[in-house]
Structures are given as C-alpha cells and as structure tokens.
Amino acid sequence: MNVLSVDNVSKKYRDAPLFESVTFGVESDEKVGLIGVNGSGKSTLLKIVAGIVEPDTGRAALARERQVAYLPQNPQYDPDQTILDAVFAGGNTTMRILGDYEAACHDLTEAGGHDTRLLERVAALSHELEAAGGWALENDARTVLTQLGIDDVGIKMGAASGGQAKRVAIAHALMLRPDLLIMDEPTNQLDADTIAWLEEYLGRYAGALLLVTHDRYFLDRVTTRILEIDRRAVRSFSGNYSDYVRRKEEIEAERANAAQKRETIMRRELAWLQQGAKARSTKLKDRVERARQMMNAPVERPAAELEIAMGSSRLGKKILEIDHVSKSYGRQALIRDFSYTLKPSDRIGVIGPNGCGKTTLLDIITGRVQADAGSVERGQTVIIGYYDQEARELPEERRVIDYVREVAEHTELADGSRINASQLLERFLFPVSVQYDLIGRLSGGERRRLYLLRVLMASPNVLLLDEPTNDLDITTLITLEDYLDSFPGCLIVVSHDRYFLDRLVDKIFKFEAEGRISQYTGNYSELAQTRDDFAQPNSARGGPAGSAGKAVRRANNEPLARSQSTKSELQSGTAGTPRRLSYKEKRELQEVEARINSAETRAAEIEAELPLVASDYIRLQALTTELESLRSHLDRDIERWAELAEHADR
C-alpha cells in the first residue's frame, strides 16, 4: 500500500524548471534513495513531499492518518531550547510523557536526588509512562541518544555545535517513529562509526524511508529503490545503488547504440536526398518527408558533466615534516606528540569522532593554527591547496566570475592549453547565466563546487581536503575521485565518507583517546576488516554467552585493546608469528569468561526489574547505578576476553 503518492508535480527555480510532471509512489515499507546532480531539485522535492514547499503543479499526498517526519540538511532550533526538549518536541502523547519524564529525572539528578517535589513528579510520570506502554520507547530513546553521542541533554541548543544540532535532529526524527521518514543528507557531520550505526538502524526501520545522500555505501546498504532526477524528469530504478549503477550503464549503452543507428540512417537518407528524387510518386514524396522529419527531430543529448583538468606544480624531495606536534584547548588534548614526514605520492585519510581534532591538524599544517609544542617544516616547492570544511573564503556578496578572476583571468590546464575564467566556470557546470550571480544565491552544492575550483586553480602539489564530500552530488564526487586518482602530488583527506576513503587513500591516521594519532597501512575498509577479524574469531570459539556478538559490535564502533606489537603489525601491514597463551593467561581467560557470564545474568535481572520499580525512585536510582557499573566493567572484560581469545587454541 502506498504511504505517499506524488502526482504530476512540477517546480521552477529562477524561472527555470527544476523538474516537470513528476509522478511516483512510495510503499509503506520501502527505502527509497533520491539522487541527482546539485541544483537538480532534490532538496526541493523532499520539501514538497514534507509539505514545506508548494509545487507549481500537481500534488504530493500522504495516505490518511499517516505521520511524516522531515530531517533538513541544516536543522534550525530555538537557541533557548534544551537538547532534551528538542529531541522530544512535537510527538504523540507517549513521546510527550517520556520527554517530561526524562526532564524530571534530569532535574532530580541535578538536585542531588533529594528534592521531594521532583521525586513525586518522577513517580507520577513513571506511572503515566507505564500506562501508556512507553517503556519500550524509553529504551529505544536511550539507545538512539547513546549511539548518536548525545550525553548532556540539559544544555541549550544555542550552545550546540552544528554537528550536535544534526544529531539532535536525527534523534528527534527517529523518536517520532513516523510512517514516512524523510532525510536530507543525514550522514553529513556524522563520523563513520555513527553512520554505520544509523545504516543498521534504518535497515531495520519498519516504516517508509525517502532520503537524499551522497554516501554510496549508505545507499547500497539501506535502499531498496533509487529515484534519479535527470534532465527535469524523475526515473525509478528498483534495487539498491549497485543495481542502479548496473542499469544506468545499460541505459547509456542503449542510448549510444540508438544514436549511432540514427546517425547511420541519417547519412543514408541525406545521401539519397542529395541525389535528387526524379520521380514524383507518392511513395518517394513520403520518403523525402520522413527523412526531413528525422533530421529535424530533437536529439536527447547527454547531460553536462564536470571537467577537472587542472595542472599541478612540481614537488621537490622535502615536502612536510611534522615534528612532535601537540595541541590542547583548555584541559582537552586534541593532538599529543604527533610526528610524520610526508613522502611523495602519500595518500592519507584522517578519521576519528567529531571534535577530536582532525580539522585542527590540517589547520596546524597550513599555519592557520599554531601548535602548543613541536613544529611543521614545509619544503620550498610545496604549494598547499586547502579545501576546508566551512569554505571560509567564500564571500557571499561577490559575483561568481569575479571570485574566480581574483586568482587568474586565464588558467593553464594539465595538457598545457589555456582557457579563460568563463570557460573554466563552464567546465565546472556554471553556465554563463549563473556566472554573474552573487555567491550567496548559490546552492550548498554549487558553493562547494566553486570553492573546489578556486582551490585547484592555484595548481597545488599538496592537497588538504576537509570533509570534501559534504554537499557534493555523487556525479561530482566520481569526477573528483577520477581527478585525484591521477593527481601527482600528496593528498591528505579528512572524511567520514567510507567509499571516498576506500577509493583514494592507502594510509589512515586515526585519532584515538587523549590526542593520540595511530597510523595504519591500507584504506578504511581494510582497517575496518582488521578490527572485524580481531573480534570475529571469538564467535567461532564459543566463549561466554552473548559476549562474542557484543565484541563484534564493539569492533564496528571502537578499537579493541591491542598490544603494541599488534599495532605495529597493523601499521607495517605485516603479521608476526602468532603467539600462544601462557598458563597464567589461560587462567585469566577462564576468570574473565566467568565474570562476563555473571555480569550478563545480573544485567538481565536488573533490566527486567526496572519497569516494576518505576514508582520507587530510590530503588530505581540504585538499580540504574548498579546497571551502569555492570556495563562499564562488562565492557572492559569483553575487551580483555577478545584480546585473550584471539590467541587461544593456537
């Protein structure tokens, strides 16, 4: 059954059509990905479906009594609203009760747990939550908030970063449990581990999903259908992103064959016409008219494609030497004693959770930020191109063509040819009609593409890219990846886009706890595979009940404890001789297994008891504290068990 019906929808922007006569439906359990180049109208179409923007023609309608939730690219909030209020705002009765309950528990904790009035309110709300059957929602809410890294729910939204605001918006949309969930670039500003969790969550989601994302792995693993906006029309492709790519390739081949066949017929008909039709029969007249109609018929031309053919400057032997660099803000150490000498053709991916210091590292390399200790020395021939996450050098009041002309009126390409600023902009999909617009009028994707052009115009030989995939469409990303494949200089890229990292890098800098940066050989998936392999053998060995699965899940979210020798092996890409457990370690393994079994049994008992003591706050608090302590010890024991079990039975 359709949960959404879009019928004959059209919309214009700047007096030009974005899309025309769009018709499609979404089934109640479908997961649909919407793709298209920047400026094709993806976000506008989502807003029409969500009821935020009116179409010029047609209508988008939800099935009766169905709920929709919309996640915009850049969520806006009341700055005086707390994170907790923002997460639970605007839901049904059960969600409102849960929001009040969580707020009361937060206030009670802040008051030290001894406020009688708050104790009574918590008890009363827990009874309401019980009556509404809301404890399952409460458990889901805690999982979502934890996985999204939302800890302090009492702070005001005005103090939240852009990344925090995006996570709050995602939590809010998921908590609504709508029949149709609409998400516009949900992976922007999320780290790779959080994206992997959201991927899994949406894969299990019971309702319908309509999303725009540039993350190809995400599309491949979540969606069951792809909608593509192409040349003002929307075409549907069944299956995931891989299925779309295969079918798209077939369509392009069919178009090429049809064009070649038409050209052959045209040549034959034109040759015949040039000979002159001597006879005046009706048959010959018909043939002449048919040939003329064929010559005058419109030809479907391929869509304009981004062309990146910029040159780069020669790079000497000395590039960058990062020597014992450290940087802290207040008590938070972002980078601790990091050293690395950049080598020719280095292609490095930088990963880690939001706020860990990835951008700070790039800023230190470029000199925008000064290190607290250590130094960065740059070779004389080095020309750094820094594509920063915020596009800080984009002046909104400047015209597009003037922004490019500031660098050069003419630019030399990789093949030695020279083109002027207007021609260069056209290669980057900025037609003449747009070149005299103010930058402030461009879409997010167009701004990023313009900023990329400006960075590449300087012919850099060391490229620093900070989250380059944000706001760029898939077609642009593919072109950029092709360009970077043959880029002769060095590349350092900060990205949460796993596909982009897999495609381009052969070394990973991973930000660990307390400002440490570990170095690994290989791309993102190869690093993830080593983490999976570290946990995977446990499931085959039996182990304590439930712990193997947890170890595997943990491996997908954070590194398990490793010995220094294991880290060295990963960094060098080699493996040493597998070692066996000592007698003492075998005894320890047995003891850890026993502790895990005991802790998991007690945790299950507490979880079963919690709903029964909801009205007894003192008992509820005691059980919650015990459960948190159990989980903390359990996490450490599982890490140790996984480390020991890897070497067991060798």
Instruction: Give the pLDDT of residue 306.
Output: 72
Instruction: Give the pLDDT of residue 184.
Output: 95
pLDDT at 280 over 60: no
Instruction: Give the pLDDT of residue 635.
Output: 76
pLDDT at 544 over 50: no
Q: Would you call 381 helix, strand, or coil by DSSP?
A: coil
User: Could you read off the pLDDT of 168-199 as tens digits, one per residue?
Assistant: 999 999 988 899 999 999 998 888 889 999 99
Instruction: Give the pLDDT of residue 559.
Output: 31
* Average pLDDT of the residues in 615-635: 78
User: Could you read off the pLDDT of 29-48 as tens digits, one per residue?
Assistant: 999 999 998 888 999 999 99
HEC profile of 562-627: CCHHHHHHHHHCCCCCCCCCCHHHHHHHHHHHHHHHHHHHHHHHHHHHHHHHCCCHHHHHHHHHHH
pLDDT at 562 over 50: no
Instruction: Give the pLDDT of residue 257.
Output: 79
Instruction: Give the pLDDT of residue 224.
Output: 95
Computed over every residue of the chain, the mean pLDDT equals 82
Q: Where are the domains of the chain?
A: 82-158, 248-296, 320-522, 536-569+576-645
Highest mean pLDDT (candidates 303-317, 337-351, 396-410, 418-432): 337-351
Instruction: Give the pLDDT of residue 473.
Output: 86
Instruction: Give the pLDDT of residue 414.
Output: 78
**C-alpha to C-alpha distance for 54 and 508, rounded to whole angstroms:** 46
Of the listed ranges 167-176, 501-510, 572-581, the least confidently predicted one is 572-581
Q: What percent of the chain has pLDDT over 70?
A: 84
Instruction: Give the pLDDT of residue 26.
Output: 95
How many angstroms separate the Cα of 482 from the Cα of each of 249, 304, 339, 476? 17, 17, 30, 10
Instruction: Give the pLDDT of residue 299.
Output: 56
Of the listed ranges 82-96, 115-129, 530-544, the least confidently predicted one is 530-544
The CATH number given to 320-522 is 3.40.50.300
**C-alpha to C-alpha distance for 347 and 501, rounded to whole angstroms:** 10
Band of pLDDT at residue 226, cut at 50, 70 and 90:
very high
User: Could you read off the pLDDT of 296-354 as tens digits, one per residue?
Assistant: 655 555 566 677 777 777 888 899 999 999 999 988 999 999 999 999 889 999 999 88
**C-alpha to C-alpha distance for 435 and 400, rounded to whole angstroms:** 5
Band of pLDDT at residue 458, cut at 50, 70 and 90:
confident
pLDDT at 557 over 50: no
pLDDT at 227 over 90: yes
Instruction: Give, rounded to a whole angstrom, the gap between the first and last alpha carbons of the chain.
Output: 55
Q: Would you call 121 helix, strand, or coil by DSSP?
A: helix
DSSP conformation letters of 3-38: EEEEEEEEEEETTEEEEEEEEEEEETT-EEEEE--T
Highest mean pLDDT (candidates 230-244, 276-290, 410-424, 532-546): 230-244
Q: What are phi and psi of 584, to 5 degrees?
A: -65, -40
**C-alpha to C-alpha distance for 113 and 103, rounded to whole angstroms:** 13
Instruction: Give the pLDDT of residue 292.
Output: 62
Instruction: Give the pLDDT of residue 7.
Output: 95
Q: What percent of the chain has pLDDT over 90?
A: 36
pLDDT at 220 over 90: yes
| Maximum Cα–Cα distance across the chain | 108
Band of pLDDT at residue 521, cut at 50, 70 and 90:
very high
* More confident call, 525 vs 285: 525
Instruction: Give the pLDDT of residue 582.
Output: 72
Q: Would you call 544 helix, strand, or coil by DSSP?
A: coil
**C-alpha to C-alpha distance for 118 and 122, rounded to whole angstroms:** 6
